[in-house]
Structure 1
Amino acid sequence: MTHELDATNLTFYFDPLCPWAWLTSLWIREVRRYRQVDVQWKFFSLAGINDREDQWHGPLRIAALARSEGGNEAVDRAYLALGRLFHERSDSFDAIGDLADVARPYLADVGLEPTLAPRALDDPSTLEEVMTDHHEAVERLGAFGVPWLIVGDDDNGFFGPVVGELLLGEEAVALWDHFRWVGTRPYLYELKRGARKSMTDLDGLSARFSEEIPAAR
């Protein structure tokens, strides 16, 4: 029997540099083991919000070329690769060095062409594609950060859920079922906790999802 909350379309705005969006994306990957969730990945530029240098757009530009060449499934893989690069090693973004070179093995690990990174960074149209998604999120949805999630046909979506640790199994599914219900209630405007729990250590969290790489869902 199909669970009444199973089949759901989810739009997920992300920036690969955001650790909070990364944890939420891993939660969604866990949920997909138990629920039918069709995730549409879209781009949101924290650099655009925070007036950072253009180099901070680099990871999103790699994901943008992945989408141009392989569709949403390729973005799914690219985000997994970039999340591992930025959140499962000790280097800060500024200390990573040549992104076009450093990203190659991570892209290869998820079945993408290693040349995707240098080609994306050499192609000015990738920045245009990133900013098209970004401006849509800001102007149409009122988005101001990530993770920004839209359940079904909701007109605006939500900032969050923001989680401080990787949720697995029943806990992940329970949060999803409640969030999915909340996300379809137009009268709910905001829910926010005062004190913020520290984030868990991100090292190696995505290893659980290695098995989905051959056919990234």
Structure 2
Amino acid sequence: MRLYVDPVCPFAYLALRWLDEVATLRDLDLDVRLMSLAVLGEADPDREPESVRGTESAWRPVRVGVAVGPRLREFVLRFGGLYHAEGVRGRDEVLRRVLTAMDLSSLRAAADDPSFDAAVRRSHDEGMAPVGLEVGTPVIHVDGVAFFGPVLGAVPRGQDALDVLDGAVALASYAGFCELKRTRTGGLSF
């Protein structure tokens, strides 16, 4: 199974934590990869370019994600823990803390290095190709099926975690299935 995430997305963080819960209950080989909300935003003419957002640019965490290589899953979990769950603000501060905790402070310069952008785009394109560009993150690929979501407001536990996965895969496996959605109520529970 592949999970495509952007570290700045709270729903991607919740999806990773949910699939980690599934992995405690079922044999699951989870490969975490990057997609990019910055890349998706390039198609929106009304969206402010990421280049004007400075240290808050969505490019910075995904560049670091490429730089950390095989430790991407850990990076996304640590970034999400600080940024989403603990509410630490200033993406640069979160990056600094995460890289320090991972003993990878030397990779901090990757945040501002556009030479990582091609790798971000390759991973993003690979993740989005089977689902289209009208979705965001998370995107899951499993057993030849790819889909956006599920967008979760909390991490399901135990049998609920398994049921959510099985239901999502079953729906996505039906060739005529396109979308299932309802309005989110309440805040997110990390």
Give yes or no for contact 2:79–2:94 (8 Å, CA) kept in 1: no
For normalisation by structure 1, the TM-score amounts to: 0.72
Offset at 1:60? 0.7
**Distance (Å, rounded) in 2 between the aligned partners of 1:173 and 1:137:** 23
SS at match of 1:133: helix
Distance 2:150 2:64 in 1: 25
3-state DSSP of counterpart to 1:175:
helix
Show the counterpart of 2:114. 124
Match for residue 197 of structure 1?
A: 185
5 Å matches for 1:1-217? 10-51=1-42, 52-54=49-51, 55-67=57-69, 71=70, 74-92=71-89, 96=90, 99=92, 102-109=94-101, 111-116=102-107, 118-139=108-129, 141-143=131-133, 144-154=135-145, 157-183=146-172, 185-202=173-190
Q: In 2, are the aligned partners of 1:14 and 1:42 still within 8 Å (CA)?
A: yes
1:104 alignment partner AA:
R
2:60 touches 2:112 (CA, 8 Å); kept in 1?
Answer: no
What residue is the counterpart of 2:45 in the other structure? none
Instruction: Decide whether the 8 Å contact of 2:59 with 2:111 is kept in 1.
Output: no
Report the AA paired with residue 32 of structure 1: A
The runs of 5 or more residues in structure 2 that have no matched partner are 43-48, 52-56
Q: What RMSD in Å do the two structures reach over aligned CA positions?
A: 2.2
SS of residue in 2 equivalent to 1:38: coil
Q: Distance in 2 between matches of 1:179 and 1:59?
A: 28
Structure 1 unaligned blocks of 5 or more: 1-9, 203-217
Q: Is the 8 A contact 1:77 1:112 kept in 2?
A: no
